[in-house]
């Protein structure tokens, strides 16, 4: 069978189509910076770099998986080398914003690092998509100290925005802070969603109680006890039974 035209994104043994006009994403610690930029194929190649075997205890947890985004600041080689020296696993280097979300889904990094003079609109938009669908801690190293790009980056879900260049000795602390902040933000978001769900369910139960009081003539205590019994008999949550009662009332209510 003829091989389809257009660049291909490779991740291990899997092959994936990418847009025909997409630029290559350079993946792999074994390729030097210039060799990676001059690859003859416009495709995207993903290959994990080998971490320094002496940087981490072999019996420790698996190394942190890092995806690098080259957004024009030309520090990617320095970041990649420092990460590998400290025992992190660089799973990919992407130099086109359109591939960020796709590569995060395929390579499943633990953290994403963006090296940028000033985050481009396309980069921020794709980071926002990542934050919505498959959130990860994101660190942006930027040369732009302006408030607007910083605010836009934070709005896109960036965990840490570091200005005034990259110093190798700062890399590890920055990553640790970004990961901790990401975990804290997710925990707070989870608590907020839980509180909102509880409030919504409470309102639903109150509506169901009102319907039972009005239609059957039960007192408030009797209506609540009836709801609990229905939930226990059916092996459902109280809110689920309440929702069914409210829905049934809506169906039986005459239009207008």
Q: Write phi, then psi, for 155 (nearest 5 degrees).
A: -65, -30
- The span from the CA of 52 to the CA of 56, in Å, is 8
Position 61 in a domain? yes
Q: What is the share, in percent, of the chain residues with pLDDT greater than 90?
A: 14
pTM for the predicted model, two decimal places: 0.57
For residue 232, the enclosing domain spans 191-252
Going by C-beta distance under 8 Å and a sequence separation of 6 or more, which residues neighbour residue 126? 97, 98, 100, 101
Residues 138 and 225 in one domain: no
Residues 19 and 69 in one domain: yes
- The span from the CA of 220 to the CA of 240, in Å, is 19
What was the pLDDT predicted at 95?
85
pLDDT digits (tens, 9 = 90+) for 24-78: 444 443 333 333 333 333 444 444 445 454 444 545 678 889 999 988 777 788 8
Residues 218 and 140 in one domain: no
Both tokens of 113, joined, read 């690092």
Q: What is the mean pLDDT of the chain?
A: 76
Both tokens of 230, joined, read 């229905």
Ordered alpha helix ranges (H), the chain? 33-37, 76-85, 100-107, 121-133, 147-155, 168-216, 220-234, 238-252
Structural domain count, the chain: 2
Residues 112 and 200 in one domain: no
Position 209 in a domain? yes
CA angle 85, 87, 88 (to 5 degrees): 105
Ramachandran quadrant class, 135 (left: phi over 0; alpha: psi -120 to 50; beta: rest): beta
Residues 225 and 160 in one domain: no
């Amino acid at each position: 069978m003829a091989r389809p035209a257009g660049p291909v994104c490779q991740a291990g043994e899997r092959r994936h189509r990418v847009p025909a006009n997409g630029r290559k994403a350079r993946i792999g610690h074994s390729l030097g910076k210039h060799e990676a930029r001059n690859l003859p194929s416009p495709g995207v190649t993903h290959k994990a770099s080998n971490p320094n075997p002496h940087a981490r205890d072999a019996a420790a947890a698996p190394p942190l998986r890092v995806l690098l985004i080259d957004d024009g600041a030309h520090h990617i080689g320095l970041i990649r080398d420092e990460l590998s020296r400290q025992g992190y696993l660089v799973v990919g280097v992407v130099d086109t914003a359109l591939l960020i979300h796709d590569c995060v889904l395929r390579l499943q990094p633990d953290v994403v690092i963006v090296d940028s003079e000033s985050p481009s609109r396309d980069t921020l938009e794709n980071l926002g998509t990542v934050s919505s669908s498959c959130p990860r801690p994101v660190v942006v190293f930027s040369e732009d100290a302006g408030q607007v790009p910083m605010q836009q980056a934070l709005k896109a879900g960036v965990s840490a925005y570091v200005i005034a260049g990259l110093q190798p000795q700062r890399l590890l602390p920055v990553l640790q802070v970004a990961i901790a902040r990401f975990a804290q933000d997710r925990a707070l978001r989870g608590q907020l969603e839980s509180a909102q769900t509880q409030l919504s369910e409470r309102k639903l139960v109150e509506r169901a109680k009102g319907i039972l009081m009005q239609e059957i003539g039960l007192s408030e205590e009797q209506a609540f006890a009836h709801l609990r019994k229905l939930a226990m008999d059916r092996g459902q949550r109280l809110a689920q039974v309440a929702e069914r009662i409210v829905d049934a009332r809506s169906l039986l209510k005459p239009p207008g």
